[in-house]
Amino acid sequence: MVVPRHAVAELPHGISLQQGVVLPLGISTAAAGLYQKDYLALPLPSFEKKDHGRIVLIWGGSSSVGSCAIQLTVASGAEVYTTASSSNFDYCRKLGASKLFDYHDSDVEDQIVSALRGKTLAGVYHAVGSNGAVESCAKIADRSQGKAIVVTVRGVPDKGIPSSVRVKSISSSDIFKAGSDIGPHIWRQFLPKALAKGVIVPKPDPLVVGSGLRSVQHGLDKQKAGVSAAKIVVDNIDQDASRGERQTLERVQWLDGHCAVKVTETFECPCPLFCSQHSFPEKRAVEGRSAPFDQLLNERQAHRALVERRKDDKTIES
Ligand SMILES: NC(=O)c1ccc[n+]([C@@H]2O[C@H](COP(=O)([O-])OP(=O)(O)OC[C@H]3O[C@@H](n4cnc5c(N)ncnc54)[C@H](OP(=O)(O)O)[C@@H]3O)[C@@H](O)[C@H]2O)c1
């Protein structure tokens, strides 16, 4: 599987692959609904203190997508009201939600509308697979002040939507379309730092159901049976990858980190990319890297600078 370079983030020390893997789909789906112009159009998340005084209602804060949506919304400066089972209220509160509602309550719509009285809604994010919830979200938006829009991870229902409310279906991959700065901003600029600072945490926790491709069906069955504030994870999926695939991957990884200019027919320069023995044109001509030499070099230099800065910070602290 090939993932675009602007759709990945480095995991800081202390976050395992099993934990980190819960994020990609949730973060991208949340971002697609929260930031695109025709959707909620919130300001992109940042580390500055902000108080926009607007509220986003996230229906299903304990789902995978909902957990990411809560965290991103708070990082964009809006307040979050959310629905979940009462057993997950603490979970959602820790992620940043300020008001919690149990969606099992028969009067949950009235409860939310009354909590929103006098406040401005920035929109509703519907983050669950179950039927009927989009209609509830739309009715709440219709009865509240602010932006009458519901963005949904599911399709748009044929009926049950008040005419004042716009419902838009989300596609997670839209943030990576040419011309969109949302994917690169979230994945390259925001997430690596946000994960290192703990501003975004990988949630929900992984529920590891097995290893290797043969466990995937078991994982799908578990997902279909339903999960609560948990993400089904199959570990070590590449343990079944062919030896050839693994060797190709290892070869590309090596080329991405080394000078690799051919010195003899069977010997390639093993120095790092910064190697001063070979010229830039020679290094640019090496075939098989995953990205142009200059891009890889810039990334390594940026990484080096970050490591140096962290060392300096530690020295100052101690
Ligand atoms: N459009 C896209 O690009 C895209 C991308 C990813 C996912 N999706 C879709 O998004 C949906 C959610 O996926 P997910 O992986 O985030 O789900 P998930 O984590 O499997 O959802 C489970 C959670 O949903 C909550 N829930 C169930 N029914 C609810 C209801 N009526 N109201 C509020 N919360 C409810 C449960 O909360 P409690 O345990 O607290 O009761 C549980 O924590 C799925 O239908 C998936 O197919 C779409």
Distance 64 CA to ligand 1 centre (A): 6
Which are the contacts of 96, defined by CB distance < 8 A and separation ≥ 6? 70, 71, 73, 74, 80
DSSP 123: E
**pLDDT value of residue 212:** 82
pLDDT higher than 90, residue 231: yes
Tell whether 152 and 282 lie within a shared domain.
no
Tell whether 133 and 88 lie within a shared domain.
yes
Distance 63 CA to ligand 1 centre (A): 5
pLDDT digits (tens, 9 = 90+) for 63-122: 999 999 999 999 999 999 999 999 999 999 999 999 999 999 999 999 999 999 999 999
Q: Is the CB of 195 under 6 A from ligand 1?
A: no
Tell whether 85 and 152 lie within a shared domain.
yes
Tell whether 182 and 60 lie within a shared domain.
yes
Tell whether 188 and 288 lie within a shared domain.
no
**pLDDT value of residue 240:** 59
Lowest-pLDDT range of 2-11, 128-137, 193-202: 2-11
Q: Is the CB of 216 under 6 A from ligand 1?
A: no
Domain assignment of residue 8, yes or no: no
Mutation choice for ligand 1 from 63, 90, 124, CB with most ligand atoms inside 8 A? 63
Atom of ligand 1 nearest to the CA of 232: 20
Tell whether 100 and 114 lie within a shared domain.
yes
**pLDDT value of residue 247:** 75
Distance 129 CA to ligand 1 centre (A): 5
Distance 190 CA to ligand 1 centre (A): 24
| DSSP E strand boundaries for the chain | 54-59, 79-84, 99-102, 120-126, 149-152, 166-169, 205-211, 230-235, 262-264, 267-268
DSSP bridge pairs for 149: 166
DSSP bridge pairs for 83: 59, 101
**pLDDT value of residue 266:** 87
Domain assignment of residue 3, yes or no: no
Distance 60 CA to ligand 1 centre (A): 6
DSSP 208: E
Which are the contacts of 118, defined by CB distance < 8 A and separation ≥ 6? 145
Q: Which residue lies with its CA nearest to atom 42 of ligand 1?
A: 228
**pLDDT value of residue 239:** 64
Tell whether 227 and 297 lie within a shared domain.
no
Residue 45 · residue 75 · CB < 8 Å:
yes
Q: Is the CB of 136 under 6 A from ligand 1?
A: no
Helix (H), strand (E), coil (C) string for 237-300: HHHHCCHHHHHHHHHHHHHHHECCCEEECCEECCCECCCCCCCHHHHHCCCCCCCCHHHHHHHH
**pLDDT value of residue 40:** 98
Atom of ligand 1 nearest to the CA of 32: 3
**pLDDT value of residue 312:** 72
pLDDT digits (tens, 9 = 90+) for 238-278: 665 666 777 787 888 899 999 999 999 889 999 999 999 99
ω into residue 204 within 30 of 0, thus cis? yes
Q: Which domain, by its residues, includes 37?
A: 14-197
Tell whether 106 and 247 lie within a shared domain.
no
Q: Which residue lies with its CA nearest to atom 46 of ligand 1?
A: 129
pLDDT higher than 60, residue 318: no
User: Based on the structure, what is the number of domains in the chain?
Assistant: 3
Distance 50 CA to ligand 1 centre (A): 29
**pLDDT value of residue 98:** 97
pLDDT digits (tens, 9 = 90+) for 147-194: 999 999 999 999 999 999 999 999 999 999 988 999 999 999 999 999
Distance of CA 131 to the CA centre of its chain: 24
Q: Which residue lies with its CA nearest to atom 12 of ligand 1?
A: 128
The pLDDT mean for the chain works out to 92
Q: Is the CB of 172 under 6 A from ligand 1?
A: yes
Going by pLDDT thresholds of 50, 70 and 90, the confidence category of residue 54 is very high
DSSP 147: -
Parallel/antiparallel/unpaired status of strands 262-264 and 230-235: unpaired
Domain assignment of residue 79, yes or no: yes
